Structure 1
Amino acid sequence: MQKKLFLLDAMALIYRAYYGLIRSPRITSAGKNTSAQFGFTTTLIDIINKEKPTHLAVCFDTHAPTERHTDFTDYKANRQEAPEDLLQSLPDIKRIIEAFNIPVVELDGYEADDIIGTVAWQAADAGYEVYMVTPDKDYGQLLIHDHVYIYKPPFMGNKEEILDAKKICEKWDIQRVEQVIDILGLMGDAVDNIPGIKGVGEKTAAKLLKEYDTLENVLANADNITGALGEKIRAGKEDAIMSKKLATIITKVPVEFHEENYRLKDWNKPVLTEVFVELEFKTLGKRVLGDSFNAFHAAPEAQQTDLFGAVVDTKKSDISRKTESTVAAQSSLFGDDTSTGLVAEKNINNTDHDYQLVQTDEEIANLVSYLSEQAEICFDTETTHIDANEAELVGLSFSCRPGEGFYVPCPADRAATMAILQKFKDLFASPTMKWIGQNIKYDLLVLKWYGFEIAGELFDTMLAHYVIEPEGRRSMDLLSAQYLQYEPVHIDELIGKKGKNQGTMREVEVEKAKDYAAEDADITLQLKNIFVPLLKEKAVERVFSEAENPLVKVLTDMEFEGVKVDVGFLNDYSVELEREAKIFENNVYEQAGVRFNLASPKQLGEVLFEKLKLDPKAKKTKTGQYATGEDVLSKLAHQHKIVDDILGFRQLTKLKSTYVDALPLMINSKTGRVHTSYAQAVAVTGRLSSNNPNLQNIPIRSDRGKEIRKAFVPRDSNHILVSADYSQIELRIVAAISGDPNMCEAFRQGKDIHTATAAKVYGIPESEVTKEQRYKAKSVNFGIIYGQGAFGLADNLGIARSEAKEIIDNYKKEFTGITKYMDDIVNFCKDKGYVETILGRKRWLKDIYSSNFTVRGYAERNAVNSPIQGTAADMIKLAMIKIHHEMKSQKLQSRMILQVHDELVFDAVKEEVDILKPLILNCMKAALPLPNEVPVEAEVGIGDNWLVAH
């Protein structure tokens, strides 16, 4: 058997893991960022499982200076401070490595690449295949030794890549891997602050080495190199020599490869369990340690009597988990560490509890009587499906006091279940009863399909936690772990099934179901009691009580109603899109002069950049393929018509597969309509998101994309669609909260804000503003609040950076209030640790204090933007609540059916349109008055489909 040694460049992999998840970091229930720990550990496990190394080590840098720092004091001087969260991850990562019984190799005075280079060559001499695990390009120089390779782990959707000497030479366009240090000496390395020769880039360096072979020969022939290049080489001679030395990996570090020290050994499972529990690596813990992995220790059992006098056992009990909108689990860049949908998870309740089974008519009557005397009830349903629109009731659970729970099983026979629900009808209809639940929208929707509605006030623990910790995860298992110390276990363990072959609650014996379901209600009640003071402490009671909680019933009704989809139109449109896509495809082949797989980025890149040579500086991805994303192709569109045809083909095929062909498959067989699911507790800004289908992503900027809206139609000939949309709401909010006099006045006078902005920026009357100038002003208006600078504006508009800078400078001069707001809100955040909306929705940004300017800059941009986006989110939520209330009060038969960004869509009875239109507009305008007398405007339209109505 071939012995295989893997040597991991620890810090390179840790940085990669941290920054790979920076936009969606992994945060524990205690608020700890574990992105680096999770990404590194997942990479380590994948290597062990997939590559089957016989030997392995992890190499670290130390803080001690190296010979390179002595030779060149500015070596790595331009590197940012490492993010605090990343530095705090290092002790955890080393504990994990040591628990795997893998050696950590580090030595003062040397960098990890020196250690890896030395050990790699020693092991290769001893007959090993050696894989250096790193994304660092400098390691290519080490491949001079046979049987030494670079291993790039999977990342950002790309597969792992193994580089040998031949691939390194192809990548750098050199003849020998020894020339890697020559090319780095010539061109330098900005990451490590290695200067190289000023003005010499990668392609020039490669060209010089083709002619002169080594850096030393290039310098020796500098007098023979004419023009500006020769001058640069002669002036940069000393820098080049120093740069080559700095870039050379030392392969004689005083470390020795002793194969027994590097051999993979049994893991220290108790320590791994301890660390994984602390870091909340639930699924990863199961994957690595098996079913024995548990988050908490078992609690003792006890005995109690129930409400009806029977003796019950208090024992380990099981807990139902509903995740937000029952959406599928999110997968990280490195793997999946979350649960999916409606999950059953086991908990250990280390307090006395009394869970009772309620089955007979007499027991149900006693329970109803008892519940009727309470001020609030915690409520939960057990069902057969994660989609509430498809679910059947299996049981109801209730709790009114901590440690108490009642479970009412429901038979498979629908009529029998209806009879049970009928006994609770008056309780459900009580306007004075308060109902508590975790993601209670799911339970309300299940009841609604049975014809029952809850009339009283709601308290959703998931939404309470959402406003308390917007960035946190909030599944029931995590909340119970954080606040109540419960151990989660999946439903397949309760039922005895594994993997995808999961059962349902129908298969659980009633006694087990009782504990499972009753504790769900019990835990939710206990969480509510914890969250109430936290809402006050965090000062987020208003946004919770005025926006989030009341919206639950609105969304329940919207999801229940659904929207009709014109299948005939979609089928015809699918044929049309396929025909048009084929025209684009044939145009591409004709212009390319060759047929190839247009859907293959690799083949497309070769055609564009090797055959047609559209860009001699074309960039490649981490896998070595040419980058052919939309951003790359859009910049080449002016060079060749083939690019427009490629983009046209991509747009049409995506529309066809993602929407046109997919929507008919989502139609509910019971209603004939599509029922999207709205998620309240996902976007940190407060925005709603939707799935199945995702309405937020239906394209509206292209003519072909807009056509999809034609498929959304009224339910019958007596109805018509009404669409209402806020007008430039985010810019109005910017004006209002910044108080900028010019922008506020433009809105007060009802001016076109982009024309008014252009007039100010270009110093001309509004009547002279051109269409192009208005477009540029519009880009600045929206871009500047997202932190866009001159580079981004230039890229967006296709203009010179100098022109973009001038536009932004003029903008800031004319709209000083905007600039002041941006500075003030960042300073506010640094002082308070959070920013907030007009309604009081908060977003905590701990990275605002980071010494790493990339991390801090991201937090500063969020500080500027979150109050704007969040206020817009609050406004439309309040508008939806007001409209819903008014429509019910006036007993209108029209229904609100869709919400997309700042737009609401209604399936309106034609006779009610004249009543509905002013009702909608008045509620939207009055939902959340803006400061500085900035008016809120909305527009309303009607039509036989969504496109026409909009």
Structure 2
Amino acid sequence: MNKPKIMVIDGNSLMHRAFYALPMLTNKKGIPTNAVYGFVNMLLKLIDEYKPEYLGVAFDKKGPTFRHEVYHQYKATRQKTPEELIPQFDMLKKMLQLMGVAIYETDGYEADDILGTFARISSEKGIDAYLVTGDRDALQLVSPGVKVIITKKGISDVQIFDVDEVKREYGLTPLQIIDMKALMGDSSDNIPGVPGVGEKTALKLLYEYQSVDRVLENIQNIKGKKLKENLTKYRDQALLSKRLATIVQDAPVDINVEDCCYELRYSGDLHAFMEELGFYSIIEKLGFKKEGDPLQKPRSDRKTVIDINTEEELKKMADTLSKAGKTAILVRDGDITLANDDSKLYRINLSGSSDIDGLNYVQAIKGLRQIFESEQVPKIVYDGKRLILDADKCGIRVKGLAFDAYIAAYLLDPTASRYELKNLMYQYAGIDTDDVDAADLYILSRKMREQLEKTQMLKLYEAIEHPLIYVLSDMEIAGFKVDRDMLVKLDMEFSSEIESLTEEIYRLAGEEFNINSTKQLGGILFDKLKLPVIKRTKTGYSTDAEVLEQLRPYHPLVEKVLEYRQVMKIKSTYIDGLLNVIDPNDGRVRSSFNQTVTATGRISSTDPNLQNIPVKVEMGRRIRKVFVATDEDYLLVDADYSQIELRVLAHISGDPTFIDAFINNQDIHRRTASEIFGVPLEHVTPEQRSSAKAVNFGIVYGISDYGLSRNLGISRKQAQEYIDSYFARYPKIKEYMERIVEIAKKQGYVTTLMNRRRYLPELQSRNFNIRSQGERLAMNTPIQGTAADIIKKAMNDVYAELKRRNMKSRLILQVHDELIIDTYKPELEEVKDLVVKCMENAMDLCVPLVVDIGTGSNWYDAK
């Protein structure tokens, strides 16, 4: 007959393990949760694997222990518990209480001692004990009825020790682990041991003499003069170390094994607490269901499934749904499902997705043409851009998208790393399934729409984000023409420049070496040239960009290395990169424009990233020459907002002096220089204007005196004087910055003028640097986010106007505050006029939005 099992966990050990193993996670209120999340996942895994009848978690109690009384330096070298971890202990204890898990802690003793006491009691009662910890000291507790589970890498890798496993790994009995620690000490607990005795020597002594006491009795027989001297000199220290390393098994803690009887049951309070922490995947794993939720009926009870396997069945379904009104469409790897309510599901089986042959993907998409192209069939989708792009490859133009759950999920939680459908289903609709289908999506759209309305973002979705799906899709389909011959020519020029820089670097170094090797470059700079060492890494000298910038004045070699790196990066990233992605059919590159990546709402670009082409250096700007108009009948129109973020700042802050500068069409940087340096506008020097520009844009990003001093190469004192002078001249801006931080702290998020939300968990951090970052984000997000909303609105309007007028000209790129239109020459003046009107009227601010516009046969000339 199997004995009952009790599992006792060292709570402190596993919490630290989980904290360092997982990235920083927070709930929507910004409270750190990663350690609790990792602990609970580990706990559930252990319960599932070992199925203990009894369960308990032991914690260290704050304050000194009996070990500190006998040795005040005990654990003195331990690092302080991270600020983000401290509040998670109370969260975990609440979670365990709600789960029905017994918790133990007692004054003057550690969690190890409680584990030891459980080991003794369980053995006396004939119960098999499993002790879970990351501390190998606990191996001393192993016995025929006690096993120790040691956490290794991360939170999922463990090693289980019984008596044989201890013997196999150490060649010792469990109790000899104490003697080993007594001899070699333990740096993690600051147990001193005997100087000069490491694990190898300790094991050798124990193999011969069995215990520390017998080692000390036989010092005269031990070989090695220094070892003999140390054992003699530090005899008392060895015995003290043994006492410190010994886990007690009679801690004064009230233990009744029956109190540890464990069976996880549904609890509304537990469910609510897990939702509060954002542990939706754990809720799903536990199979919790919201009581009374009609969506929790078995899926087979909710819907009828109709399989579509032939073109004839596909046509019949398309005919039916094209007359049925709103339809949800979900495309997955194995099938396409469609539903016009939550009771009937059509499933198109794709080839290879089941035992049935089914249809291939292209057949399925083409068979849905009448649904895709009909404005009269509003379509609910997940990732509409992907659907539009796939349909376009089949010669189909998708119309009538009604709702995109992917975009809605981004708006509701813009800092999430992923938007998995199954998690969204549970989070917003209460549907617990790994097999999400279109009928589920139909329900999800309704729930998410309600949430958008509740958070006052429905208008943002409908006016900005939803129409943008079509705009970005069309931009990707259009692509940007690249002059391959010019790109190849640039490649040769850059290669020549790299060769020239390499030779110059070798000359200045006095020898050849691998410039791309940090180790070799460090040897040249610091060992040979004796330049000051700024920073070290684990493997040697640091030669990162920040270090090289500080070393620039010391030797001309540094300047050349910086140039070399810059040219190499431009060549590898943009020249080599672009050559690899040019479409051989039409000579265009097609970047992916991402609508759901940045927390501020800005659009990003990947594969290739056309938004990060360096423009501050001429070699970077030259890359823009390879981006050209379609052919000789076209020109590029480049329309760029002038200082849009500063104009938004003027509007949001309401500062009259700042507003006045824009209304009177003054150079805002010159005006700011005039204000903070106290000189007339006409006497502002270029250097003063440059400093004022750095202050203007720095203020938008919540810059500190340190950051500004680094940007301008001035002292922190002078930088702070600039900032103080700025706020003295623009007091409403200072008031706004202070006010928005307080609002963010109170409500946990900030909003743009269009009500886009960004949650700021950083503001709840106990870490000063993280909290300061949160404050900067609170200041900047409403400004940068509103600028993003404005450019998106302009894109929508430009796209719609070009379509309405049936023009050949096409919007092909957006880079921050800049739009590029591939313009048919006969439409040039009309395009310039409509683009300026759309951009300048995208949002009504108290200051004018101003657009600078240029034209050219390539991007470089148009800019």
2:347 aligned residue (392, 404, 407): 407
CA deviation vs aligned residue, 1:13-72 (integer Å, no higher than 9, x gap): 666567xx55xx4769x998544467899999xxxxxxxxxxxxx99875215769999x
1:867-897 CA distance string (max 9 Å, x none): 1111011001100100011000000011111
Report the equivalent of 1:541.
Answer: 458
Task: Please name the residue that 1:572 is paired with.
Answer: 489
Residues 743 and 374 of structure 1: is their aligned pair in 2 closer, same or farther, counting only changes over 3 Å?
same
Compared CA separation, residues 16 and 883, structure 1 to 2 (3 A): same
The answer as to whether partners of 1:378 and 1:521 remain within 8 angstroms in 2 is yes
Q: Distance in 2 between matches of 1:406 and 1:31?
A: 41
The answer on 1:750 being equivalent to 2:694 is: no
Higher alpha-carbon deviation: 758-767 or 702-711: 702-711
Please tell me whether the aligned partners of residues 118 and 253 of structure 1 are also in contact (alpha carbons under 8 angstroms). no
1:589 and 1:364 mapped to 2: Cα distance? 69
Q: Within 1, Cα distance between the matches of 2:718 and 2:483?
A: 48
What is the aligned partner in structure 1 of residue 824 from structure 2? 909
Q: How does 1:444-593 map to 2 (within 5 A)?
A: 444-472=388-416, 473-484=418-429, 519-593=436-510
- CA distance in 1 between partners of 2:541 and 2:608 (Å): 33
Map of 2:305 onto structure 1: 355
> Which residue is equivalent to 1:255?
245
1:814 & 1:785 partners in 2: Cα distance?
A: 16
Give the Å deviation of 1:407.
2.8
Tell me which moved more, 584-593 or 440-449.
584-593
2:667 matches 1:761: no
**Alignment correspondent of 1:220:** none
- Compute the displacement of 1:613 (Å): 2.3
Deviation at 1:602, TM superposition (A): 2.5
Show the counterpart of 1:428.
372
Distance in 2 separating the partners of 1:886 and 1:585: 52
Contact in 1 for aligned 2:26/2:761 (Cα 8 Å) = no
CA contact (8 A) 1:380 1:440 kept: no
C-alpha deviation, 1:854, in angstroms:
3.8
Distance 1:442 1:147, change over 3 A: same
Q: Which residue of 1 aligns with 2:805?
A: 890
Offset, 1:917:
0.7
Q: Please give the alpha-carbon distance, in whole angstroms, between the structure 1 residues aligned to 2:506 and 2:764.
A: 54
Give the aligned residue type for 2:475.
M
Match of 2:535 among 619, 637, 640: 619
Which letter does structure 2 place at the counterpart of 1:945? N
Q: Deviations over 1:282-312 (max 9, x none)?
A: 99x9xxxxxxx9946699xxxxxxxxxxxxx
1:652 equivalenced with 2:567 (yes/no): yes
Query: What does residue 64 of structure 1 align with?
Result: 63
Instruction: Indicate which of 746, 757, 761 corresponds to 1:842.
Output: 757
**Residues 1:146 and 2:198 aligned together:** yes
Q: Normalized against structure 2, the TM-score is what?
A: 0.72
Task: Report how far residue 556 of structure 1 moved.
Answer: 1.1
Q: For residues 553 and 603 of structure 1, do their structure 2 counterparts lie closer, same or farther at Cα, with a shift above 3 Å needed?
A: same
Letter in 2 for 1:665: N
Cα separation, 2, equivalents of 1:142 and 1:458: 74
Structure 2 CA distance, aligned partners of 1:655 and 1:414? 48
Structure 2: which 5+ runs fail to align? 1-10, 44-56, 113-133, 141-175, 202-239, 250-262, 265-269, 290-295
Structure 1 position 629, deviation (Å): 1.2
Q: State the aligned residue count.
A: 707
- Do the aligned partners of residues 569 and 40 (structure 1) sit closer, same or farther apart at CA in structure 2, a change above 3 Å counting? farther
Change (3 A) 1:619 1:60: farther
Q: Which amino acid in 2 is paired with 1:146?
A: G
Tell me: CA distance 1:92–1:655, structure 2 relative to 1, closer, same or farther (3 Å): farther
**Structure 1 vs Structure 2 CA RMSD:** 4.8
Q: TM-score, normalised by structure 1?
A: 0.65
The 3-state SS of whatever aligns with 2:449 is helix
Counterparts of 2:298 and 2:491 in 1: how far apart (Å)?
53
* 1:739/1:817 contact within 8 Å kept: yes
Shift of 1:625: 2.1
1:99-110 aligned within 5 A: 108=108
Cα distance, 1:704 vs. partner? 1.5
Q: How far apart are residue 938 of structure 1 and its match?
A: 1.2
> Residues 552 and 558 of structure 2 are in contact (CA less than 8 Å); yes or no, is this contact kept in structure 1?
yes
The reply on whether 1:941 has 2:854 as its aligned counterpart is: yes
Question: 8 Å contact 2:648–2:786 — kept in the other structure?
Answer: yes
Alpha-carbon separation, structure 2, partners of 1:757 and 1:737 = 18
Aligned counterpart for 1:859 among listed residues 750, 774, 794: 774
Separation in 2 of the partners of 1:11 and 1:594? 52
SS at match of 1:655: helix
Summarize the Cα distance change of 1:87–1:941 in structure 2 as closer, same or farther, 3 Å threshold: farther
Partners of 1:600 and 1:590 lie apart in 2 by 17
**Cα separation, partners in 2 of 1:762 and 1:451, compared to 1, 3 Å:** same
Residue of 300, 323, 344 corresponding to 1:373? 323
Higher gyration radius (CA): 2
DSSP-derived class of the 1:696 partner: coil
Matched, 1:398 2:313: no
1:926 Cα shift? Answer: 0.6
Query: Cα offset for 1:848?
Result: 3.4
* Secondary structure, counterpart of 1:940 in structure 2: strand
Q: Is the 8 A contact 2:342 2:442 kept in 1?
A: yes
Secondary structure at the aligned position of 2:342 is classed as coil
Separation of aligned partners in 2, 1:463 and 1:32: 25
Corresponding residue number in structure 2 for 1:156: none
Cα distance change of structure 1 residues 378 and 368 upon mapping to structure 2, 3 Å threshold: same
Worse-superposed segment, 414-423 or 735-744: 414-423
How far 1:81 sits from its partner (Å)? 5.1
Separation in structure 2 between the aligned mates of residue 594 and residue 406 of structure 1, nearest angstrom: 71
Deviations 1:251-299 (A, max 9, x none): 677332799xxxxxxxxxx99xx99x9999999x9xxxxxxx9946699
In structure 1, distance between residues paired with 2:387 and 2:720: 54
AA of the residue aligned to 1:380: L
Q: 1:772 to 1:362 in 2, by over 3 A?
A: same
**Shift in Å at residue 459 of structure 1?**
0.7
Preserved CA contact (<8 Å) 1:793 1:804: yes
SS in structure 2 of the partner of residue 448 of structure 1: helix
Paired residue secondary structure (1:662): helix
Q: 1:553 to 1:33 in 2, by over 3 A?
A: farther
Whole-angstrom distance in 2 between the partners of 1:583 and 1:108: 70
Specify whether residues 857 and 83 from structure 1 end up closer, same or farther in structure 2 by C-alpha distance, changes over 3 A only.
farther
**CA shift digits 1:315-346 (9 cap, x unpaired):** x9xxxxxxxxxxxxxxxxxxxxxxxxxxxxxx
Q: Is 2:520 aligned against 1:603?
A: yes
Q: Which residue is equivalent to 1:790? A: 705
Identity percentage of aligned residues = 34
Change in CA separation of 1:281 and 1:699 when aligned onto 2, cut-off 3 Å? farther
CA contact (8 A) 1:483 1:527 kept: yes
Retained in 2: the 8 A contact 1:790–1:808?
yes
1:916 deviates by: 0.6
Superposed CA offset, 1:128-185 (max 9, x none): 9999898x9x999999642499xxxxxxxxxxxxxxxxxxxxxxxxxxxxxxxxxxxx
Q: Which amino acid is the alignment partner of residue 562 of structure 1?
A: G
How many Å apart are 1:348 and its aligned residue? Answer: 8.3
Q: Distance in 2 between matches of 1:378 and 1:896?
A: 29
Contact 1:667 1:674 in 2 (8 A): yes
Q: In 1, distance between residues paired with 2:749 and 2:711?
A: 31
Q: 1:938 to 1:59 in 2, by over 3 A?
A: farther
| 1:737 paired residue number | 652
SS of the residue 1:581 aligns to: helix
Q: Does 1:804 align with 2:688?
A: no
Structure 1 residue identity aligned to 2:246: E
